[in-house]
Amino acid sequence: GPLTALGNATLGLEFLRQLRSEGVGAGVLVISERSAINDRVAGLDAGADDYLVKPFAFAELVARCRALLRRSRELQLEPVRLGNLLLRPDTLELSVRGSPMTISRREGQLLVALLRRQGRVCTRAYLESSLYDASAEVSPNALETSISRLRSLLAGADASVELRTVRGVGYALAEKAAA
């Protein structure tokens, strides 16, 4: 949802770092009066996709927003690879070792969310927001059911990835260590 402006630049950058660490992938445009190179670099390093210094022309703001949306759409369509797994997020076409596999829409969406944060822990809240509409009634074990099905699918396909449970936190998808 829309975020309110934070008056303190340090708080704003810390908030941005926290968003990125939680896997929020939405395009972020920082608008600031701070124009020094080190301020712009700090904003971009904290996770901003673009940085616009005040004052600015409205047409430039609109153009930068269009560019962010374009880049975001392009990134969402790019195939995502981990180990011998390849997934096309737009069509949920999955292949393991080059062989196509059938995957349900729900498990495909779960796999997309995990692959976008591969190697990092995905919280339950992040995964549930990737799978379910905020207004949907979701049973308490719905996520676990989808995780179980995805684990079975990956194991049955001899995928070189593992879906680990991080007790009390969430789940992580990573490439299996070489034996």
pLDDT in tens, 75-90: 566 788 899 999 988 8
CA angle at residue 65 from 61 to 71, to 5 degrees?
Answer: 145
Task: Identify whether the C-beta of residue 32 lies closer than 8 Å to the C-beta of residue 53.
Answer: yes
The C-alpha atoms of residue 93 and residue 104 are separated, in whole angstroms, by: 10
pTM for this predicted structure: 0.60
Phi/psi class of residue 139: alpha, beta or left (left: φ > 0; alpha: ψ in -120 to 50)?
Answer: beta
H-only helix segments in 26-141: 37-45, 58-77, 105-116, 124-131
The C-alpha atoms of residue 139 and residue 137 are separated, in whole angstroms, by: 7
Tokens at 57, concatenated: 């022309």
pLDDT in tens, 5-41: 445 677 788 888 887 766 666 678 888 898 889 988 8
pLDDT in tens, 45-64: 888 888 889 999 999 999 88
Q: What is the distance, to the nearest Å, from the Cα of residue 139 to the centroid of all Cα atoms in its chain?
A: 23
